[in-house]
Structure 1
Amino acid sequence: MTPDAVTVWAVIAGLAIGTFVIRFSFLGLVGQRRFPEWALRMLRYTPMAVLPGLVAPLVLWPEATGGAPDPARLLAAAATVIAGIWTRSVLWSVAAGFGTLAAGLALFA
């Protein structure tokens, strides 16, 4: 069943309006006020809380292997975490993960 063009554009417009309202409620209405210290402290940890939730499925159930974990991606994830802890640099941890993934895919494939 293929939806018609009017339905598709109505859904796109509805999602655009919904996204705008959600973002405006946080940035537009609260943007000029000073946040309490406890809220700023909590917001500091948001990226560290969201990133593992985005990356874990790609490491543990990769689409490229049909959902089965493979040693190349597990090693790359471990190398990325170790490099991040050791160097405290995003660039070095990404480079370590990329290099390990490339070597692991060449070695295990």
Structure 2
Amino acid sequence: MTYTEPQIWAVIAILGVGTYLIRFSFLGLIGDRPLPPWLLRHLRYTSVAILPGLVAPLVIWPAATDGVPDVPRLAAALVTIGLGFWTKGVVRSMLGGALTLYVFQALMA
């Protein structure tokens, strides 16, 4: 199905307004009020819940290898998980995983 240029721009505008309203509902309406402790406790785990969901498909079905898992990505994922458990540091584990990925890719090339 093909869309005309005005239809495409209308969809872009509607999605932009919708995204703005979703963010404004959180930041604009309750941004200056203190949040309850139970909500703050749950918000701490947002990145822990989202990051694996974003990264797992890139490790298991990488587009760079046409969906075939490969050693560098699996090794980087294991090093990242291991460093995360060992150091309890997100940045250190991500940097260690990235370094492992690049080293393994250089060695396998």
**Shift in Å, 1:77:** 0.7
1:54 Cα deviation after fit: 0.5
Identity fraction in percent: 56
1:52: which partner in 2?
52
Deviation at 1:2, TM superposition (A): 4.0
The amino acid across from 1:46 in the alignment is T
2:101 is equivalent to residue 105 of structure 1: no
Q: 3-state SS of the aligned residue for 1:15? A: helix
2:79 paired residue number: 79
- Secondary structure of the residue that 1:33 maps to in structure 2? coil
Shift of 1:65: 1.3
Taking the aligned partners of 2:28 and 2:39, their CA distance within structure 1 comes to 17
The TM-score with structure 1 as length reference comes to 0.87
Q: Could you list the runs of 5+ residues in structure 1 that have no partner in the other structure?
A: none
How many Å apart are 1:28 and its aligned residue?
1.1
Match of 2:54, SS?
Answer: helix
List aligned pairs for 1:28-67, cutoff 5 A: 28-67=28-67
Q: CA RMSD in A?
A: 1.7
Equivalent residues, number: 109
Query: Partners in 1 of 2:12 and 2:6 — Cα distance?
Result: 10
Q: Compute the displacement of 1:56 (Å).
A: 0.5
Q: Secondary structure at the match of 2:3?
A: coil
The 10-residue stretch of structure 1 (28-37 or 52-61) with the greater mean CA deviation from structure 2: 28-37
* Counterpart amino acid of residue 70 in structure 2: D
Q: Which runs of 5+ in 2 are unaligned?
A: none
Change (3 A) 1:95 1:35: closer
Read off the aligned partner of 2:106 and give its amino acid letter.
Answer: A
After superposition, the C-alpha distances for 1:25-64 in whole angstroms (9 at most, x for unaligned) are: 1111111222111111011111101110001000111011
The Cα shift of 1:6 comes to 0.8
Between 66-75 and 50-59, the greater mean CA deviation after superposition: 66-75
